[in-house]
Chain A
Amino acid sequence: EDQVTQSPEALRLQEGESSSLNCSYTVSGLRGLFWYRQDPGKGPEFLFTLYSAGEEKEKERLKATLTKKESFLHITAPKPEDSATYLCAVAPMDSSYKLIFGSGTRLLVRP
């Protein structure tokens, strides 16, 4: 069964304190792995897509990496505005349309 597990469930950081969020997945063939950001009361917003092991993508203080079993979202010197829930999703090879989401990591960055 295809599955996505995110850890930790919640993370509190001080402003400037770098850390990483983990997304472990089991899927019968990976079409792509996605990271989204979700603010309270809003819909998810796209961050990155990764397709193959070794691939990396960066945007401002965020960097996403991918291995054959997991993905990491590295947050460097976070600011309070980075506080949000970060969602990981995988697209299995057997469908061009289905995404399987993890339950997310709630990040709080304190000033």
Chain B
Amino acid sequence: NAGVTQTPKFQVLKTGQSMTLQCAQDMNHNSMYWYRQDPGMGLRLIYYSASEGTTDKGEVPNGYNVSRLNKREFSLRLESAAPSQTSVYFCASSESGIKAGVRNEQFFGPGTRLTVL
């Protein structure tokens, strides 16, 4: 099993350009997430998908859109990139939402390092 895969690994954009970050998981998980990680700020949730066909905003959704293409794939789109979106982006998946008493592990991908000039 590959777990959670992300493409691309690195990307440089100019201000105003658009791009889509791809994420796929092969663990048959219901829930998927997009985070950004900035120095000194920890991981922040951008959007999540509780199950196929649903998406919801997280802590920092402005400037982003998402698509849950099917159960395996969850993409993140930047329509008009800004320098403030320079960050490392992580996709994650979990079996379901957080339930008391069980492991509730989120599995993370290797990340996409995005620079917006």
Contact = CB atoms under 8 A, between A and B. Distances in A.
Interface string B79-106: 0000000000010100001111111111
Nearest to B104: A49
A31 interface: yes
A44 B90 CA distance: 9
A87 B58 contact: no
B90 A103 contact: no
Contact of B106 (A51, A99, A104): A99
A32 B100 contact: yes
B104 A43 contact: no
Interface of B: 4, 31, 33, 40-45, 48, 50, 56, 58-59, 90, 92, 97-111
28 contacts: A31-B98, A32-B98, A34-B104, A41-B111, A42-B110, A42-B111, A43-B109, A43-B110, A43-B111, A44-B43, A46-B105, A46-B106, A46-B107, A49-B104, A51-B100, A51-B101, A87-B43, A89-B43, A91-B98, A96-B98, A97-B31, A97-B98, A98-B45, A99-B106, A100-B59, A101-B43, A101-B44, A104-B42
